[in-house]
Structure 1
Amino acid sequence: MADNAHDLARRLGRQAESVCRHYLSAGRREGGYWLVGDVRNTPGRSMFVRLKQSTNGAAGKWTDAATGEHGDLLDVIRESCSLTDFKDVVDEARSFLSLPHPEPEPNQPWLRKSSAVPGSPEAARRLFAMSRPIERTLVEAYLRNRCITFLHGIGSLRFYPRCYYRPDDHSPTETWPAMIAAVTDTSGKLAGVHRTWLDPRGFSEATLGKAPIDTPRRAMGNLLGHAVRFGVAGEVMAAGEGIETMLSLRCVLPTMPMVAALSAAHLAAILFPDTLRRLYIARDDDPAGDCAMATLIDRAQEVGIETITVSPRLGDFNEDLRILGLDALRAASRVQIAAQDVARFIELAA
């Protein structure tokens, strides 16, 4: 039975996207992953399923950063169908595999072999290359309106004035100005991009400057393990979820290398640079952030990396910066980091 289960899981993995579309229909594809709330098909983004075999793992393997659960596509079938008997799971899997499920193909007839498939790393590289530096653009205004004023060394962020946005498969394509962030691996190679669509009318307290659309943030490319990077990591690095969160913390620790993993699920899975010896985890104050922090601590400690958690007084560090102010954020950070790093990253930069 174990051999049968292994074979079924492997065969399901070959059709991972079709499996996800069928059993995890509340989710959506982003780059090489299927994102959904959990294995029981709840809407959300905490769980990610690998859609293609890669050096990072097998197709069909999934992790839920909010709960720490993980498994394969047989587990997806069991939980999403509320099955308790393993024989029923096997029967359902075999029934699914008996149906024709071709690999999804781009349906745009105008795509040529040399064109980048939408959502691919190549498409991400092209978008980043077409974008321009943020100086004197809506991106710079957006960040400054969120009280992020230390904008040196952020070449990983760019501006694109008319970035495509499509609410769903049945809606027309729109264009909005966008902040484009490079998602890179530990060597600096671009693996994807993250887009934050912005409101051309400017900042408002309701949207904090993001475009008034359903999902003003989306990523494309190969994201798992990678991040948006500010500075080159050495022995010390800080990691957190959002770009604005990490740029806020960077206002008081301007020379500390930092990465934004873009979500709790991806924060839990970031890859560690070979040089890293101490990792600061900038947690968001919510259950998903707590689970990501716990997973990341376990992974770091397994390879001998010291971890120190830094916590905001409010929901995240950008809220602290905007509402409590720069001096309060600096004071709170000073008491949470190692003494040698206070001298290195706060006092010398002040």
Structure 2
Amino acid sequence: MTGSASELARRLGDHAEAVCREYLPNGHRSGNYWMVGDVRNTRGRSMHVRLKTSTKGPAGKWVDEATSEFGDLLDVIRESCGLVDFREVADEARRFLSMPLPPPQLPGAQRQPAAKRGSPEAARRLFGMSQPIVGTLAERYLAGRGILLSTRERALRFHPGCYYRDLVTGETQTLPALIAALTNLNGQITGLQRTWLDPLGQGKAQLADPRRSLGDLLGNGIWLGHQPGAPVPVMAAGEGFETMASLKVVMPVLPVAAATSANHLAGLTLPPGCRRLYIAADADAAGRHGIERLSQRAGEAGILALVLRPQLGDFNDDLRHFGPAHLAAWLSDQLVPEDVRLFLPPG
């Protein structure tokens, strides 16, 4: 946990009961614990917050017996206030700590409704808190992967301090992140993918899982070059964002969609009027199920499905090792001749 977050959590623990009365008013005290339904302030008793430091642990730590979730009072503030950005969580904690003994929340007092963890609303809030990638660490990260995209790609944003929680230890920190929105065919954001970045510009952050998705993912994708409502007679789809963005580099007018996983690729919703679908493969055997299932669904809908295969592990490997001209030449032998003329710029 970063020093500032650790210190805020410790100071909140010093006033654990007051924090619970403020942010979990649907609960009640029972001995050395505050009992409530869950971290989102639902009525019940499955979650208990330790109010005083004991041999069992420090004040402010909590466990939800029903879901096995656990955390500290910063998590309570985040969930009860519906916050996503850690800086806002920290600001709210500092506001609270400026009042030594705050009174309980008055009945009927209104807060911003909490966005359920992992929900499409949480995804939309985080995307709204982010900024365009132009001139940011996210743009430099993509450029380092050989991915140079149009500034008109609205699916991509940058967050300078995105909240990361270690799922094993429960520790938290804030790191810069590339934010990629997943949308439905109408352009509505249903989820997003976060890629945490090394603050010094050394690629992805050194984390066990530097890439995570949230929201409603099935059927939706990270769309590049797609205008909601516009016809999509030819498109490409694949699992990974960087794989599909690499194809977009050499075929800039071809709409592409990244489904984020093999299972989600299998369930990707295809736009009405699509006639040809190129499916990007990679060397991962786990992805074959997604390719086969999507190909089957496309065939049942009367869509010609063709698999594009890289030379190396995936198309980003090809782009970085061989360059865009070589990748374009490699793809030209796999595309329908009409699509070579439409989507591959002249060499």
Would you say same fold, with TM above 0.5?
A: yes
Kindly indicate whether residue 128 of structure 2 is the aligned counterpart of residue 134 of structure 1.
no
Partner of 1:194: 193
Separation in 2, partners of 1:281, 1:226: 15
Q: CA RMSD for the aligned pairs?
A: 2.0
Partner of 1:168: 167
Retained in 1: the 8 A contact 2:251–2:345?
Answer: no
Offset of residue 289 of structure 1: 1.9
Per-residue deviation, residues 13-69 of structure 1 (Å, max 9, x unmatched): xxxxxxxxxxxxxxxxxxxxxxxxxxxxxxxxxxxxxxxxxxxxxxxxxxxxxxxxx
Partner of 2:149: 150
Aligned equivalent of 1:215, options 189, 209, 217: 209
Higher relative contact order (CA 8 A, sep 6+): 1
Separation in 2, partners of 1:120, 1:343: 42
Aligned equivalent of 1:261, options 259, 262, 268: 259
Retained in 2: the 8 A contact 1:160–1:178?
Answer: yes
Structure 2: stretches of 5+ with no match in the other structure:
1-64, 82-110
Per-residue deviation, residues 230-282 of structure 1 (Å, max 9, x unmatched): 02261111001111111111111110000011111111110111121110001
Letter in 1 for 2:173: E
Per-residue deviation, residues 170-208 of structure 1 (Å, max 9, x unmatched): 4221111000111101111110111000011113xxxxx
SS at match of 2:344: helix
Partner of 1:317: 315
Letter in 2 for 1:335: D
- Structure 1 residues 105 and 113, CA gap change in structure 2 (3 angstroms): farther
- Structure 1 residues 103 and 211, CA gap change in structure 2 (3 angstroms): closer
Give runs of aligned pairs for residues 88-127 of structure 1, distance below 5 A.
Answer: 108=76, 110-111=80-81, 114-127=113-126
SS at match of 2:139: helix
Retained in 2: the 8 A contact 1:153–1:230?
Answer: no
Per-residue deviation, residues 115-141 of structure 1 (Å, max 9, x unmatched): 212211111100000100000000100
Structure 1: stretches of 5+ with no match in the other structure:
1-100, 204-208
Give runs of aligned pairs for residues 1-350 of structure 1, distance below 5 A.
Answer: 108=76, 110-111=80-81, 114-168=113-167, 170-203=169-202, 209-232=203-226, 234-347=232-345
Count of aligned residue pairs for this structure pair: 244
Offset of residue 108 of structure 1: 3.0
Offset of residue 159 of structure 1: 0.1
SS at match of 2:250: coil
Retained in 1: the 8 A contact 2:197–2:205?
Answer: yes
Greater Rg, structure 1 or structure 2? Answer: 2
SS at match of 1:151: coil
Letter in 2 for 1:298: Q
TM-score, normalization by structure 1? 0.66
Separation in 2, partners of 1:212, 1:104: 26
Retained in 1: the 8 A contact 2:237–2:279?
Answer: yes
Letter in 2 for 1:108: V
Separation in 2, partners of 1:315, 1:305: 27
Offset of residue 151 of structure 1: 3.2
Offset of residue 153 of structure 1: 3.0
Separation in 2, partners of 1:103, 1:169: 15
Letter in 1 for 2:238: G
Per-residue deviation, residues 85-126 of structure 1 (Å, max 9, x unmatched): xxxxxxxxxxxxxxxx96899983734561212211111100
Separation in 2, partners of 1:103, 1:127: 24
SS at match of 1:347: coil
Separation in 2, partners of 1:339, 1:248: 21
- Structure 1 residues 309 and 180, CA gap change in structure 2 (3 angstroms): same
